[in-house]
């Protein structure tokens, strides 16, 4: 049996919810420990902080210079870097501040942290990311999958499938016909259409697909009579505004 | 002379309960989100008003199917095939869906040189078809010539307080024989259903017209609306594209092979080596869907892939309509 993978969990600006979700794995978590050794993690009591890593799992976004420094240091130490959860992959909730007007943004400033350009950034803005684990919180079965794949030397790749695809597999009626604005057509699947199956709209926590036809979806929302402000809020809830230029690298 | 029977409506529950004791019976009914689809019979209320929103395709070719497990031996692999040969009955399948099953049979049992997973499910399947008595929303089966069921075992036609039962195969005959006390013999002739479909699609020379208008501006216009959400292909009873992938089993060296539905509306569908996409534009993907349904399949197999159920029209959130595309192109090419 080859050597165990050395893994570390790190949190930048976030709620640390994704890491806590790891406990949902229950006995599978113990099974994973057969081939993964957690060397550096606050929550899992990692015993060897600062060691070289095979996999670094980073949750949270970059908001301050401290986060940025920490992230660059992690990247130096690891072989594969996995972005864990919505904040790390697409900025998620902390990214709401990016869409706020300037006056409000100024009030958000705190003395203790040195902000990076007054904005929140996904980690891919600063470092190369090898694999993405989307969702808010991330889905635990997917992290197991990433562990197993990396253990066998395969770097997992995202499949660009929209939520609608899985929603139809679950035989749900479409929410767009009920006047509920749903971001399913432009959001990455993998959640098995969790929200639409409970008759709640998809809010795009797994990130927008590259292929999504945002213009057509916005037009559809307008035809449904959704106010402009609400449409804007929905599109910028978890993701950077798809209608403006993509977030530039710093 | 062939005998015909009547099944009283109040006896239907008894019939289905008896059937479900020996086989898995799928009936059209409402699911927890009020969508109409085929569900295992559990004395629930049936939905017999019109064709269901979701077809029984998901039972014949499951959205995610485990094909086999391969286990690592010292120098080779051991393969364990996972075949599902349960006994099944589909009740209340509409004519369009029986034609879709015919398409799947043609592909999986002839063209793909006998797909053993499909064959296992299909072999012990009894189809009890139900004749439509009124037009359904968006359906255009009369235009596609799919308004008379094929390949079924029994055909039910609603007749006042009972169902007229026509035996269509040996399997169907044995079924009636087995539950003979539920059926009454009758001298009636089969009631003809007279209705006109809610949509129409002129099919004469359609293939030639579509082939000639490969670069028609209509494709671009429709693609601008299209969300590429793949809903149309997911609900289509005759869409059969799938992808295969392997999954490692945790902790062991073993793997599982899966088969999952795929859709031509997704960009990744046409990804080949070196990340090249041979149908990258939305326009070309949408055109592929319509052309495959109405032109390409006809060329290869002699009948169109589209069965005229109208589900793709019903499910499209932005109202892209296959019949409207075809008729616009026809109108412009005159």
Of B166, B148, B140, B185, which Cα lies nearest the Cα of B327? B140
Q: A173 is written with which tokens?
A: 């009626």
Question: B141-165 burial by CB neighbour count: b if 16+ within 10 A, else e?
Answer: bbbbebbebeebbbbbbbbeebbbb
pTM: 0.90
How does DSSP classify residue A175? G
Q: Please say if the pLDDT value at position A247 is more than 70.
A: no
Q: Do residues A91 and A240 touch, judged by C-beta distance below 8 A? A: yes
How far apart are alpha carbons A202 and A189 in whole angstroms?
10
Q: Do residues B90 and B56 touch, judged by C-beta distance below 8 A? A: yes
Query: CB under 8 Å to B224, separation ≥6 — which residues?
Result: A215, A216
Give the helix/strand (H/E) hosting B172: helix B170-178
Q: Are strands B36-40 and B125-130 parallel, antiparallel or unpaired?
A: unpaired
List own/partner pairs for A148-153 with CB under 8 A and 24 or more apart. Answer: A148/B248, A148/B250, A149/B248, A150/A5, A150/A54, A150/A55, A150/A80, A151/A2, A151/A5, A151/A35, A151/A36, A152/B248
Confidence band of A248 (pLDDT split at 50, 70, 90):
very low
Q: A85 in contact with B at a CB cutoff of 8 Å?
A: no
DSSP-assigned beta bridge partners for residue B247 = B256
Residues of chain B below pLDDT 70: 1
How many CB atoms are closer than 10 A to CB B63? 17
Q: Do residues A214 and A242 touch, judged by C-beta distance below 8 A? A: yes
What pLDDT was estimated at residue B55?
Answer: 93
Interchain proximity A165–B231, CB inside 8 Å: yes
Cβ-based burial of A115 (10 A; exposed 0-12, middle 13-18, buried ≥19):
middle
What pLDDT was estimated at residue A112?
Answer: 65
For B224, nearest residue in chain A (alpha carbons): A216
Q: B221 is written with which tokens?
A: 């216009």
Interchain proximity A168–B226, CB inside 8 Å: no
What pLDDT was estimated at residue A43?
Answer: 82
What residues of chain A lie within 8 A of the CB of B53, using their CB? 171, 173
Give me the percent of chain A exceeding a pLDDT of 70: 95
Interchain proximity A185–B227, CB inside 8 Å: yes
Q: Find the mean pLDDT for residues A194-222.
A: 93
Report DSSP letters for A201-244, one per residue. Answer: ----TT-B-TT--HHHHHHHHHHTT--HHHHHHHHTSSS--TTS
How far apart are alpha carbons A24 and A30 in whole angstroms?
11
Q: For B32-89, what is each residue's pLDDT tens digit?
A: 999 999 999 998 999 998 899 999 999 999 999 999 999 888 888 899 999 988 999 9
Cβ-based burial of B103 (10 A; exposed 0-12, middle 13-18, buried ≥19):
buried
Confidence band of A249 (pLDDT split at 50, 70, 90):
very low
Report DSSP letters for B207-227, one per residue. Answer: HHHHHHTTT-HHHHHHHHH--
Q: Which of B224, B229, B261 sits opposite A169 (nearest CB)?
A: B261
Interchain proximity A165–B251, CB inside 8 Å: no
Cα B29 to chain centroid, rounded = 16
Q: B306 is written with which tokens?
A: 């589209």
Q: For B214-248, what is each residue's pLDDT tens digit?
A: 999 999 999 999 999 999 999 999 999 999 999 88
Preceding amide of A137 cis, omega within 30: yes
3-state secondary structure of B37: strand
Q: Please say if the pLDDT value at position A57 is more than 70.
A: yes
What pLDDT was estimated at residue A187?
Answer: 95
Cα A156 to chain centroid, rounded = 15
Q: What is the rounded (10 degree) CA torsion for A122, A127, A128, A130? A: -60
For B38, nearest residue in chain A (alpha carbons): A171
Conformational region of residue A219, where left means phi above 0, alpha means psi within -120 to 50, and beta covers everything else: alpha
- Find which of B31, B56, B229 to mutate to test the A interface (most A CBs within 10 Å of its CB): B229
Q: For A135-178, what is each residue's pLDDT tens digit?
A: 988 988 888 888 888 888 889 988 889 999 999 999 999 999 99
Q: For A173-186, what is each residue's pLDDT tens digit?
A: 999 999 999 999 99
- Find which of B317, B318, B319, B320 to mutate to test the A interface (most A CBs within 10 Å of its CB): B317
Give strand ranges (E) for chain B.
4-8, 24-30, 36-40, 64-72, 77-81, 88-93, 125-130, 154-159, 162-167, 183-186, 242-248, 255-261, 271-272, 276-277
* Alpha-helix residue ranges (DSSP H) falling in A91-226: 102-107, 140-151, 163-169, 194-197, 214-223
Q: B83 is written with which tokens?
A: 């075949």
Domains and CATH numbers, chain A: 5-151 (3.40.50.700), 163-235 (no CATH)
Q: Please say if the pLDDT value at position A42 is more than 60.
A: yes
What pLDDT was estimated at residue A2?
Answer: 67
Query: What does pLDDT average to over chain A?
Result: 87
Cβ-based burial of B131 (10 A; exposed 0-12, middle 13-18, buried ≥19):
buried
Over its C-alpha atoms, chain A yields an Rg (Å, rounded) of 19
Q: A239 is written with which tokens?
A: 């993701």
Q: A36 in contact with B at a CB cutoff of 8 Å?
A: no
Cα A129 to chain centroid, rounded = 12
- How many residue pairs from chains A and B have C-beta atoms closer than 8 A? 96
How far apart are alpha carbons B156 and A44 in whole angstroms?
63
With residues binned 3-state (H G I as helix, E B as strand, rest as coil), the percentages for chain B, rounded to 5, are 35, 25, 40
Interchain proximity B230–A168, CB inside 8 Å: yes
Interchain proximity A148–B250, CB inside 8 Å: yes
What residues of chain A lie within 8 A of the CB of B224, using their CB? 215-216
Q: Please say if the pLDDT value at position A50 is more than 80.
A: no
Cα three-residue angle B128-B129-B133, rounded to 5 degrees: 145
What pLDDT was estimated at residue B160?
Answer: 83
Of B233, B238, B262, which Cα lies nearest the Cα of B102? B238
Q: Please say if the pLDDT value at position A109 is more than 80.
A: no
What pLDDT was estimated at residue A111?
Answer: 66
Query: What does pLDDT average to over chain B?
Result: 91
By a Cβ cutoff of 8 Å, what residues of chain B touch chain A?
A: 31, 33-35, 37, 53-54, 58, 63-64, 224-231, 234-235, 247-248, 250-251, 261, 263, 266-268, 282, 315, 317-318
CA distance B235 to chain A (A): 7
State the ipTM, two decimals. 0.90
What pLDDT was estimated at residue A250?
Answer: 34
Q: Are strands B24-30 and B88-93 parallel, antiparallel or unpaired?
A: parallel
């Amino acid at each position: 049996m080859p050597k165990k993978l050395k893994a570390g969990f790190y949190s930048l600006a976030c709620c640390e919810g994704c890491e806590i979700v790891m406990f949902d794995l229950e006995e599978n978590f113990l099974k994973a420990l057969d081939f993964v050794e957690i060397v550096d993690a606050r929550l899992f009591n990692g015993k060897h902080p600062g060691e070289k890593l095979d996999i670094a799992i980073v949750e949270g976004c970059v908001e301050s210079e401290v986060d940025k420094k920490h992230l660059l240091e992690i990247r130096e130490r690891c072989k594969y870097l996995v972005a864990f959860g919505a904040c790390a992959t697409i900025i998620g909730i902390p990214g709401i501040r990016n869409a706020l007007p300037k006056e409000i943004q100024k009030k958000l400033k705190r003395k203790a942290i040195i902000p990076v350009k007054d904005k929140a950034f996904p980690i891919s803005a600063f470092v190369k990311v090898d694999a993405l684990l989307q969702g808010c919180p991330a889905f635990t079965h997917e992290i197991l999958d990433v562990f197993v794949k990396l253990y066998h030397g395969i770097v997992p790749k995202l499949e660009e499938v929209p939520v609608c695809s899985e929603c139809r597999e679950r035989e749900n009626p479409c929410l767009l016909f009920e006047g509920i604005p749903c971001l399913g057509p432009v959001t990455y699947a993998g959640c098995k259409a969790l929200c639409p199956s409970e008759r709640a709209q998809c809010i795009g926590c797994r990130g927008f697909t590259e292929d999504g036809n945002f213009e057509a979806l916005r037009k559809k929302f307008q035809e449904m009579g959704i106010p402009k402000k609400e449409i804007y809020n929905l599109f910028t809830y978890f993701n950077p505004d798809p209608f403006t230029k993509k977030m530039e690298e710093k | 002379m062939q005998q015909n029977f009547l099944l009283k409506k109040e006896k239907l529950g008894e019939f289905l309960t008896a059937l479900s004791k020996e086989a898995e019976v799928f009936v059209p009914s409402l699911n927890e989100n009020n969508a109409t689809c085929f569900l295992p019979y559990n004395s629930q209320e049936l939905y017999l008003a019109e064709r269901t929103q979701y077809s029984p395709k998901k039972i014949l070719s499951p959205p995610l199917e485990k094909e086999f497990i391969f286990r690592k031996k010292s120098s080779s692999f051991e393969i364990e095939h996972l075949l599902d040969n349960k006994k099944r009955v589909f009740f209340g399948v509409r004519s369009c869906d029986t034609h879709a099953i015919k398409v799947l049979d043609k592909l999986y049992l002839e063209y793909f040189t006998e797909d053993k997973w499909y064959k296992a499910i299909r072999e012990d399947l009894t189809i009890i078809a139900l004749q439509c008595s009124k037009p359904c929303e968006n359906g255009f089966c009369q235009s596609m010539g799919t308004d008379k069921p094929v390949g079924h075992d029994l055909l039910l036609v609603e007749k006042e307080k009972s169902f007229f039962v026509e035996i269509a195969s040996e399997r169907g005959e044995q079924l009636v024989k087995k539950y003979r006390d539920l059926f009454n013999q009758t001298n009636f002739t089969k009631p003809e259903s007279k209705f006109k479909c809610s949509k129409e699609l002129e099919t004469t020379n359609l293939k030639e017209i579509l082939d000639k208008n490969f670069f028609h501006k209509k494709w671009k216009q429709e693609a601008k609306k299209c969300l590429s959400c793949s809903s149309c292909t997911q609900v289509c009873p005759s869409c059969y594209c799938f992808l295969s992938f392997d999954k490692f089993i945790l902790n062991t060296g073993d793997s599982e092979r899966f088969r999952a539905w795929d859709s031509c509306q997704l960009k990744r569908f046409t990804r080949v080596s070196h990340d090249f996409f041979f149908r990258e534009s939305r326009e070309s993907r949408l055109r592929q869907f319509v052309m495959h349904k109405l032109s390409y399949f006809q060329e290869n197999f002699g009948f169109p892939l589209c069965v005229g159920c109208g589900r793709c029209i019903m499910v499209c959130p932005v109202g892209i309509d296959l019949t409207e595309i075809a008729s616009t192109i026809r109108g412009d090419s005159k």
